[in-house]
Structure 1
Amino acid sequence: GTNRDPYFRFEQGELKPYYALMSHFGIDVQGIVGDWLWKLESVYRDSYDHHVGVVTGFEYTIVGAFDTVWDVGLIGEYLYDSRGNNAQNIGQNDVFAGVRFALN
């Protein structure tokens, strides 16, 4: 398909976007074990340059936390992008942690 992230070329004194052809492969896997949810998302893109992106992590739910009607979800993820600082997005090599509160 066509890459949605443009490369830029210098042509006739102007900087112009160029949308190159690319090959793209992705995978999304989730597994539930008890109160744990394990997940992996990955993408490989081959165009003028090629790169890999990965997000992996977990969610753990404490049902009826502290004998209340609240469920508490603990979330942890790791984000990796092989482009490093050349990526057009944030999250090239980051860790994410969060807490989710939900009424049961």
Structure 2
Amino acid sequence: MITFVNTFEVHGTVAEFEEAFEKTSGFFSARPGFLNHRLLRHVDRPAQYVNVAEWESREHFEQALKHPDFVPHAKALRALSTSSPNLYDTVLERRAAAEGSPRP
């Protein structure tokens, strides 16, 4: 699994950005290897967003980016924001213990 993290600074309207991102989300969710994603908005700076997406592999993610139908999505987001995309491997993951379970 690979994690894609992309930070956005919106210079268009927030509503336009969220609408464009929703359409992009639909595109990616239909691609092979897509697992899930979350779009997060900064609590104190509403023009800052972070997208965290999980893919089965780097190859699946890169194939989605090369798909010709991605071009209009990329253009729409670039017209409304600047971004900083990066790929990450998971090094450590921990979940909360179930209630009533002893904690180490």
Alignment TM-score, normalising by the size of structure 1: 0.29
Structure with higher strand content: 1
Structure with higher helix content: 2
Structure of greater relative contact order (alpha carbons < 8 Å, 6+ residues apart): 2
Alignment TM-score, normalising by the size of structure 2: 0.29
Larger radius of gyration: 1
